[in-house]
Amino acid sequence: MAAVLRMSADIIRPAANYNDDVPSYILHNPRYYPHFKDCIGAIDGTHVKALVPKSEQPNDSKREGLKHDLTKFPDGESAGRLNHKEIVVSTDEMEVLRLPLSASQKGKLISAGYTSIASISSTSPSHLALELKVSEDEALEILKNVSDGSRLKRTSSSLTVLNGAQSAWDMLQEEETTRVHITTSCADLDSILGGGISCKEVTEIGGVPGIGKTQLGIQLAVNVQIPYDYGGVGGKAIYIDTEGSFMAERALQIAEACSHDMAEYSRLYHKGPQACEVKTMQPKDFLENILYFRVCSYTEQIALTNYLDEFIKDHKDVKVLIIDSITFHFRQDFDDMALRTRVLGGIALNLMKLARKFGVAVVLLNQVTTKYSDGSFHLALALGDSWSHASTNRIILHWNGDERYAYIDKSPSLRSASAPYSVTPKGIRNSSSNNKRIKHI
């Protein structure tokens, strides 16, 4: 947006004319415009045109020392007068003014309407010479300098990216100091997971119907809210339900058990004055912090996934995102497998970005299907082999006799292991079997 300022005479001064008929002026106030003190702007003898970027325009404190006022035009620009000449300030010409050209050449380009590198580069030497009233040799030299300046700008941008590189050691230190886990309420399961479900990562949990996938999802939605004083994360949960399997009554049962456990913990460990400062959460508090979405088609699922970035920006305390299940609509409604793969790839990429950007634990609950290999059928997680790369960690829930087990099928940081767990009225808990044991593979 252009801005026209009425300023005292020390802001600009006459410069050497590049044309006898057209006077040129130069910005001359390094105190207020240090980056553009050598930049010429010129128009038609009644207007003086010069660039002042927004960041360099005088703020209220600086304006006190300048004799100018601003008048708003209907189009949003500002206008003022200086000795019956206007100074037009536009950020569009910043590219031209930063090129490796002489002040006279910059002024000619601006007055001829060439305000960007792209507009100059698309012009032939003969046409540019005619527009600027210079020789073709000088026009060719200008185009060469513009090309060099454009290349320098691209190189500078590349170096900016390279300068942002991070060493592996710094990454390790950062991960170790910021690593956060959400407990599953099963000590054996937490043990093989390194403390629980990790934030900043995508974890896929799959298994047969009735194995406890939704139960584990609801448990995580409750446990993520455990306050810091109790060793928790102190966040909120987003629960996306694609199947209609979320049960508020079951969430209330798990919340009541968690609230009771917190009260017991407080009674044992928070004594004296500290006990008054630490508050336990009520079951109602847990349910209010579970942000529930019901999606009824794959188009709604895609739209919601794309909206989550903005939603989490407005709800910065969200620390777990659960999709129950990621599979349902893509198994029912898709006939084009190639299209399904592309759509799922886009969803997976968005979820990975959310996990890293907001430090959220993304938990994807998945169904199983039968897969034929080596002459026989066996159970495998749905959506195929390409989907297996969408998650950081993959956990398979399965039966071993009458016992439920969780098995780490894939993880870059966790060793393969299995641990028993139970689904109780209170939620996910340690297995009560005498034969329970963690198995490292």
Same domain, 286 and 390: yes
Of 88-97, 146-155, 161-170, 181-190, least confident by mean pLDDT is 88-97
Q: Mean pLDDT over all residues of the chain?
A: 75
- Residues 371 and 384: their CA atoms lie apart, in Å, by 9
Is the confidence at residue 295, as pLDDT, over 90?
A: yes
For residue 83, tell me if it sits in a domain.
yes
Ramachandran quadrant class, 432 (left: phi over 0; alpha: psi -120 to 50; beta: rest):
alpha
**Contact of 258 with 222, CB cutoff 8 Å:** yes
Total number of domains constituting the chain: 2
On whether both 96 and 214 belong to a single domain, the answer is: no
CA distance 66 to 438: 76
Q: Sign of torsion, CA 401 413 237 280?
A: positive
The pTM of the whole model exceeds 0.75? no
pLDDT digit string (tens) for 82-127?
333 333 434 444 567 778 888 888 888 877 877 677 778 778 888 8
pLDDT at residue 149, rounded to an integer: 66
| 54 and 149 both lie in a single domain | yes
* Residue 168 in domain: no
| Domain membership flag for residue 173 | no
Give phi and psi for 101, each to the nearest 5. Answer: -125, 160
Q: Which domain holds residue 350?
A: 178-440
Give the model's confidence band at 52: pLDDT under 50 very low, under 70 low, under 90 confident, else very high.
very low
Q: What is the pLDDT of residue 103?
A: 82
Letter string b/e over residues 169-196, b meaning 16 or more CB atoms within 10 A of that residue's CB: eeeeeeeeeeebbbbbbbebbbebbbeb
Q: What is the pLDDT of residues 172-186, one digit of tens each?
A: 877 777 789 999 999
CB 403 within 8 A of CB 211: no
172 assigned to some structural domain:
no
Closest CA to 218 of 292, 318, 297: 292
Side-chain half-sphere CA neighbours of 64 within 13 A: 2
CATH number of 385's domain: 3.40.50.300
Nearest in space to 419 (alpha carbons), one of 184, 165, 144, 91: 184
* Same domain (yes/no): 128, 221: no
Taking alpha carbons only, the member of 18, 47, 45, 5 closest to residue 109 is: 18
Q: What pLDDT is stored for residue 432 in this prediction?
A: 82
Q: Comparing 89-98, 270-279, 369-378, 413-422, which segment has the lowest mean pLDDT?
A: 89-98
DSSP 8-class letter at 204: E
Which residues share a beta bridge with 439? 418
In the chain the first and final C-alpha atoms are separated, in Å, by 64
Q: How many residues does the chain have?
A: 441
- Among 194, 191, 234, 185, smallest CA distance to 212 is for 185
Q: Are residues 192 and 154 in the same domain?
A: no
Lowest mean pLDDT among 43-47, 130-134, 219-223: 43-47
- Give the domain-ending residue among 127, 160, 193: 160
Whether 203 and 238 share a structural domain? yes
CA angle 109–35–39, rounded 5-degree value: 30
Identity of residue 1: M
Does one domain contain both 271 and 222?
yes
